[in-house]
Amino acid sequence: MEKNTCAFTGHRPKSFPWKYDETAPGCVQLKEALFAQIKILVDRGITDFLSGMAQGVDLWCARAVLALRAKNPNLRLHCILPCQGQEDKWPAAMQEQYRSILQRADEVLCLQEEYSDDCMAKRNRHLVDHAAVLLAVYNGTRRSGTGMTLRYAQRQGREIFILDPISRGMTRIRPASGQ
């Protein structure tokens, strides 16, 4: 676990009421809330951020870190890819955004060459294993990658911030004492 590191997890756009419309008021407000929370973490001493680079929350958080890094060169963005070509079937504009983020990242780590049924779960565990803090956008859906990542982070004793995508309320879960 890296002391000054935060990992991101969150749902794909299809899980939100606005789907893929990033100009929808709810999406804009969620991205603003994410930016504000990342800024709070930076002010608290977090310098390294891990993004799994999935559509939605992961990419929004990566863009926020890059924007903050423009004013604070001490910040580092680490892109943790589950496999080569995770973006291959995405719309062209989304692929372009993805590749632009990768080009500006401080590190790009690809965990395996080929897609496998468990590569996303492996990526999520890697994110948690290498971060002290997890920032999650979570709608409460237990049977989701985000839900599984949150439960894993709790078992690993990570500090967790959960942002509700609709109310934009923040919940903080501190690690159990002794961890």
Rounded-to-integer distance, Cα 35 and Cα 163, Å: 11
Q: What is the pLDDT of residue 176?
A: 72
For 108-126, how does the pLDDT look when each residue is reduced to its tens digit (9 = 90+)? 999 999 999 999 999 999 9
pLDDT band at 141 (very low <50, low <70, confident <90, very high): confident
The first and second tokens of residue 138, run together, are 């979570």
pLDDT at 1 over 90: no
| Contact predicate 47/38, CB 8 Å | no
CA angle centred on 29, ends 23 and 33, rounded to 5° = 135
Rounded-to-integer distance, Cα 13 and Cα 51, Å: 16
Rounded-to-integer distance, Cα 74 and Cα 88, Å: 32
Give 56's Cβ-side CA count (13 Å radius). 19
pLDDT at 179 over 60: no
pLDDT at 99 over 90: yes
pLDDT band at 143 (very low <50, low <70, confident <90, very high): confident
> What's the chain's average pLDDT?
95
Concatenate the DSSP letters of all residues of 111-178 into one string. S-SS--TTHHHHHHHHHHHT-SEEEEE--S-SSSHHHHHHHHHHHTT-EEEEE-TTT--EEEEPPPTT
pLDDT band at 156 (very low <50, low <70, confident <90, very high): very high
Indicate left, alpha or beta for 158 from its phi (over 0: left) and psi (-120 to 50: alpha).
beta
Q: What is the pLDDT of residue 158?
A: 96
The first and second tokens of residue 49, run together, are 């951020």
For 2-56, how does the pLDDT look when each residue is reduced to its tens digit (9 = 90+)? 899 999 999 989 999 999 999 999 999 999 999 999 999 999 999 999 999 999 9
Q: What is the pLDDT of residue 175?
A: 85
Q: What is the pLDDT of residue 178?
A: 52
Q: Which whole number is the average pLDDT over 62-89?
A: 97
Name residue 30's beta-bridge partners.
none
Percent with pLDDT over 70 in the chain? 98
